[in-house]
Chain A
């Protein structure tokens, strides 16, 4: 079974500063990786995904993530955050059974 560890539970950041959210996974087989965002009192919105191919993937709202197979990581980055990026971010992994396993989440708080 696969598991996901999000290394930071809370990340405070100033507006227009860069942010990195760390995610590590454990799996003995090839996986698909995802980042979802959850705004207060809402469901999950897909930010980006890694299925295969280029290890650098770009998503919506200026986010990007890099898949590193040797380090089993899939860190999320944004070069300049906005107040509207304040939200909960979840890293998730699945195999070909398409059953998602989520990390515990990282709360990003953007301050002016």
Chain B
């Protein structure tokens, strides 16, 4: 049973660029949530997707956007990158009706 997968594992970008991160949920899961984990901190909720729509959003600017595809996989897009966007980006999957989320290995983004 495949768990949550994310790609790429690492990414280096420069300020002002745009980035797309990808996530495939655990088999059978229909909901994907994205979190940002800055160095030395706990993860912060970005947004959650279900039925291909953004259902909830945390305190992140509009530069952060996402998408969910019919196969439940998801993308996180960040425009106009800032140095402060450097972090580990975690994807978590779950069932819409269940409270437990399972995390992927993350994508580490470095903005120079």
Chain B residue at minimal CB-CB distance from A103: B42
Q: Identify the stretch in A37-45, A56-64, A78-86 within 8 Å (CB) of chain B at 4 or more residues.
A: A37-45
In B67-103, the 8 Å CB interface with A consists of: 90, 92, 94, 98-103
In B24-57, the 8 Å CB interface with A consists of: 31, 33, 35, 40-45, 48, 56
Is B66 among interface residues, defined by CB-CB distance under 8 A? no
CB distance from B89 to the nearest CB of A (A): 10
Report the separation of the CA atoms of residues A27 and B107 in the bound assembly, to the nearest whole angstrom: 31
Contact A44 B56 (CB under 8 A): no
Classify chain B: how many residues form its interface, as a range: 20 to 34
Instruction: Determine which residue in A43, A44, A94, A96 has the highest number of CB atoms from chain B within 10 A of its CB, and name it.
Output: A43
Chain B residue at minimal CB-CB distance from A34: B100
Contact B101 A98 (CB under 8 A): yes
**Which among B6, B41, B48, B104 is the interface contact of A99 at CB below 8 angstroms?**
B48
Chain A facing B: main interface SS: strand
Instruction: Determine which residue in B4, B35, B40, B103 has the highest number of CB atoms from chain A within 10 A of its CB, and name it.
Output: B103
What is the size, in residues, of chain A's interface with B at 8 Å between Cβ atoms? 24
Chain A residue at minimal CB-CB distance from B108: A41
CB distance from A108 to the nearest CB of B (A): 15
Is A100 among interface residues, defined by CB-CB distance under 8 A? yes
Contact A100 B45 (CB under 8 A): yes
Residues of B within 8 A of A101 (CB): 45
**Which among A42, A46, A90 is the interface contact of B100 at CB below 8 angstroms?**
A46
28 A-B pairs, CB-CB below 8 angstroms? A32-B99, A42-B106, A43-B4, A43-B105, A44-B92, A45-B103, A46-B100, A46-B102, A49-B99, A49-B100, A51-B99, A92-B42, A96-B99, A97-B56, A98-B31, A98-B33, A98-B101, A99-B33, A99-B45, A99-B48, A99-B56, A99-B58, A100-B35, A100-B92, A102-B43, A105-B40, A105-B41, A105-B42
